[in-house]
Structure 1
Amino acid sequence: MVPWQLLSRSFRRYPVRPPNSGIARRKSIWERIHLDPWLIGLLLVLMVAGLFVLYSASGQRIEAVIAQAVRFGVALVVMVVIAQFSPSTFLRWAPIAYAVGLAMLIAVEIAGDIGMGAKRWLEIPGVIRFQPSEMMKLAVPLMVAAYLNRCQLPPRLRDIAVCGIIIGLPVVLTAIQPDLGTSLLVASAAVIVVLLAGLSWKLIGFVGALMAAGLPVLWMNMHNYQRQRVLTFLDPESDPLGAGWNIIQSTTAIGSGGLWGKGWLDGTQSQLEFLPERHTDFIIAVLGEEFGLVGMLMLLALYVMIVGRGLWLATSSQDTFGRLVAGSIILTFFIYVFVNVGMVSGILPVVGVPLPLVSYGGTSSVTLLAGFGILMSIHAHRRLLPR
């Protein structure tokens, strides 16, 4: 039995309290608004820490911190609103969200806004500028879970093929923007849903063989800068002033921080602008330089507590759809952290993945907290589902 089968089976069904089984316990305010106070508290601590680091990483620009705080506020409101809906609502709306997301990705390809050499954004003049591919981080796993909810589990090969099509369309549309990092995250979020549904070793081996066979095709269709990122990962010293600059400077910043760090606002690599993208993808290198190994371990411990609490909430799901979606949301959050820390520290290629709720950015924060809203909704509505 594979690990994800054990995880999926651990999502046990909780008994439903009969309506006349005695005096009902009075619900707390948190239960009435469908929120988990422990998860909310951990997320707030993470966001405050992120603003603290961002002030240094942005060159002490208070306006950047205020803008990020406003984005966090909007994201929190979205999370609270989404938590009020029942899991059955997400099940009904999953196909619509998926179709709208695909339409917006096509719109990006036709009339998207170009920034930093990539066409990834849609802009409504004077209103909003957003990245539709971020929406697909939730829409795709929701759609896959909705499809598997109607299938016999573990899924058969035919069901896996259909899931492959559901996943492949938005992944390809995102990759050609080009945005390899987001496309990989969208794919991983949806693949986790399939894995949690339970797969035999034969199917895993077959799918793995197909993916291995497709690697040459993927390499041939990658952009030159994407290929260079892979080659730089293998040997960053081959081009220290060019493609290898980012990873060399990030590892230098982290290493120079030592155990306790150089102190807040006293980092040299970051404050003297040797470190690229220091307020977005490489922000944890700023933290490592200024707060050292102790600071990085404290941040990672905070992420571990969030993931642990999320997994505990996920175990309360009582149906297939809720179990698959809740497990995917929290495990995908873990992948975001792992990929960002891995690429900044040099153990993974640089793919442009921000550090959740710490890196500067708006659309990604809204998407992440919307996912946590869905997770808390699944937990809050667990006793409302039929026996």
Structure 2
Amino acid sequence: MEFPIVLAVLALLVLLTGLVVALGGRRGSARVQTRRHGELEGRPVALHTLSNALGLTAQVSEFGATLVSVRVPDRQGVIAEVTLGHDDFRGYVEQNPYLGSTIGRYANRIADGRFTIDGRTFQVARNNHGQHLHGGVAGLDRRVWSSQPVREGNAAGVRLTYVSPAGEEDYPGTLTVHVTYLVPADRNEVRLRFEATTDAPTLCNLTNHAFFNLAGGGEILDHRLELFADRFIPVSESLIATGERAPVEGTPFDFRRPHTVGERIGAAHPQLVRARGYDHAYDLGLGRTTRLAARMTEPGSGRTLEVLTDAPGLQFYSGNFLDGTIKARWHKPYGFRQGFCLEPGLFPDSPNQPAFHRAGYPSGVLRPGEKYAMEMVYRFGVAQENRLRLNTHLNRGWDSKECFSSVCR
């Protein structure tokens, strides 16, 4: 009689072990789902949904390698959209002002659309008030990329590829670009990795242009910013970098201690007047390790966004040119200062600024045999004073006993 009892006990142990493994796998997993986003010139465009069990969902489109959506919990565990975007695919094709797009070949501005490599001067599009902006009329944000789901460790994601032929937007060289988006199982963050190679000397400066609103709507002036930089890059009347790396000390550009976005945005500082608010790069230094560059906190929801990067610069843009003409997910168009951007990358107009080069900062020139690489992370959580435990009402079939954000640890 003892032998059947032993078998029964063993069977029960196997069943319980399987149940624990199944629950643990469900609790600790990240996944990718793919569906059709739309069609452009007869070519289907895929939309990938990346998610984990902690409440984060991100969507990435093959059109422009675009971060279409990010949804995360607030201090009550309520999940909401925190990026600006369009309701459907046609919105991105017809009127996308870089909402969530991959930007290049050269992100930010180039003075007069002109640069010189090895003694040869190139003229690219002057698509923004006489200056070159974000790769031109049809930069990487307007292209359909190829994609494939990937898995790295406990993270699930998608790797997108685009080959920009020589002469596209009048840039020299064929540029092969890869962008990888990853969502890990154990953190509410979206990791981005940019890589590029070329067959001839060219420019390369890539970034992501996501607009965020951590409240899910309304102005972003009450958002509280910390930006860990001692210097910023002043701009001319035409918003071109002057070549100076100016101290933030004693100016409205000092966010080394937290300030709301709106606290000093109306100050009579000439740089704020020129840009109609904040639209400036910050100097993060020359260290190549991925480190915390900025933290934004929205007091009402408690949501936080941390941006980590290994880039030398970070552009802070306070949505000064959102003018109510962009159709939105909301019931009305996106208006003035209803979204912000934190964009890692090289300094604006770096190819034409020898002062940056003398200080050791990259010019943006990429040559055959070299590899462009940049990493950035969007890390979401809740403010430390409002520590949360993710509750079962997320309706994902498990009961978390752990804080869902690294900010809470």
TM bin (shorter chain): under 0.3
More strand by proportion, 1 or 2? 2
- The answer to which structure, 1 or 2, has the higher relative contact order (CA under 8 A, 6+ apart) is 1
The TM-score with structure 1 as length reference comes to 0.27
The TM-score with structure 2 as length reference comes to 0.26
Q: Highest CA radius of gyration, 1 or 2? A: 2
